[in-house]
Amino acid sequence: MTTLLESRYRAVLRLLPAYYRREREEEMVEVYLWDVDRDTQDQSRPTVGEVASIAALAVRTRLGAAGAPRRYALLGAAVRHFALFAVLLQAAAAVVDRALEVTWAGTHGWDMFLSGFTGRGAGLGGVAVAQWVLPLLWTGGWFALFRERRGLARVCVLVAALPTLWPVVAPLVTDAVPPDPAYATASLVLAWLSAFGVCAAFHRDAPAVVLPAGTPGLWHLACCVVMGASVVLVPTSADAVWAPATGFLACALGWLLWRARSSGQGGAGTLALAFLGLLVLALRVAALVPWLDVSVPGVVVAGFVGQAVAVALLTVALAVVGGRDLAAR
């Protein structure tokens, strides 16, 4: 007869995907119940640590652990690609933003730059410094992933994502004006999905990160150059999303070209980019809407709208191409 403890362990094991339970459930239940006295089994429960270890195994087995079926292997590859592209985009955006800010301060005087951190008390000044510095850790996360320092990469991206929480928290603890909810939510979702993607998909069993061409440094540099150039060339149209959206367009076009030359490889990566495109599109639209109520030159709004349309078209193209590639295999 099944005891209550056995039922509880089986309930926890339901966190695992069906293919894994078919293979391992009976064996794992045997290990769990081995030295537990049958008479006391109804008073026991799985410990928090046991549940956590099964939850971690459930994530790994769903995201392409050793011996996983094709669909889980594809899911793992897609989440890893998404996390990589998203981290690269945010890493380059943070570097470009700060490099341009410092360059501007260097030529126009440092007073305005420094006023962003001073004159509002130590606490808020510290927050402003953290808001400025922490996003640079996206770059640390990007390089840590390629050096197989996955623990370090996780810490970097989780800390780098923290500043996106401040606009939501600030109105609760200070007299700050509540942020535009759509833009704050879109930034928060992009940052935290990227961070959780890195934490979940780059697990111990995940394959090493390999780029289709070039080095991680070259990719980072190329993204920074494209994003920086997009701001320098059209400074009047450059809002907070202009550079990352341009970076996405360049990445997506480059990926589609590579895919065409490599005869349809990388379906998971193509779909991952399509998903990233959706998030970038949400960010672009959220940042665009407030401009519609303000008197700004029509050409500026047209630039934002044009960028949104380009992101949307490329996202659809990526989704169609990626879906076809996967169906063909």
Partner 1 sequence: MTQAAFFVLTALADQPRHGYGILREIEELSDGEVQLRVGTLYGVLDRLTADGLIALDREEVQQGRLRRYYRLTDEGVRALGAEAQRMAAGADAARRRLAEGRHAPGPGLAGGLA
Q: How many residues bind partner 1 (CB under 8 A)?
A: 26
Contact call for residue 8 and partner 1 (CB under 8 A)? no
242 near 230, Cβ under 8 Å? yes
What does the alpha-carbon distance between residue 308 and residue 314 come to, in Å, rounded to a whole number? Answer: 10
Contact call for residue 36 and partner 1 (CB under 8 A)? no
59 near 200, Cβ under 8 Å? yes
Binding mask 38-77 for partner 1 (x = CB under 8 A): -----------xx-xxxxxx--xx---xxx----------
What does the alpha-carbon distance between residue 135 and residue 194 come to, in Å, rounded to a whole number? Answer: 13
Nearer to partner 1, 56 or 105 (CB): 56
Cβ burial 167-189 (10 Å sphere, 16+ → b, else e) = beebeeeeeeeebeeebbbbbbe
We find the least distance from the C-beta atom of residue 151 to partner 1, in angstroms, to be: 12
We find the least distance from the C-beta atom of residue 108 to partner 1, in angstroms, to be: 42
| 107: CB partners within 8 A, 6+ apart | none
87 near 145, Cβ under 8 Å? yes
Contact call for residue 32 and partner 1 (CB under 8 A)? yes
We find the least distance from the C-beta atom of residue 50 to partner 1, in angstroms, to be: 6
Largest CA distance in the chain: 80
Give burial (CB, 10 Å; 0-12/13-18/19+) of 38: exposed
Contact call for residue 11 and partner 1 (CB under 8 A)? no
Nearer to partner 1, 206 or 251 (CB): 206
We find the least distance from the C-beta atom of residue 32 to partner 1, in angstroms, to be: 6
Nearer to partner 1, 42 or 50 (CB): 50
Nearer to partner 1, 138 or 202 (CB): 202
We find the least distance from the C-beta atom of residue 33 to partner 1, in angstroms, to be: 8
Nearer to partner 1, 23 or 313 (CB): 23
Binding mask 185-224 for partner 1 (x = CB under 8 A): -------------------xx-------------------
304 near 239, Cβ under 8 Å? yes
We find the least distance from the C-beta atom of residue 63 to partner 1, in angstroms, to be: 12
We find the least distance from the C-beta atom of residue 203 to partner 1, in angstroms, to be: 9
Retrieve residue 68's tokens: 């996983």
Nearer to partner 1, 65 or 96 (CB): 65
Contact call for residue 37 and partner 1 (CB under 8 A)? no
What does the alpha-carbon distance between residue 80 and residue 197 come to, in Å, rounded to a whole number? Answer: 7
Amino acid at 179: P
Q: DSSP letter string over 6-50? A: HHHHHHHHTTS-HHHHHHHHHHHHHHHHTTS-GGGGGG----HHH
Q: Which residues bind partner 1 (CB under 8 A)?
A: 24, 26-35, 49-50, 52-57, 60-61, 65-67, 204-205
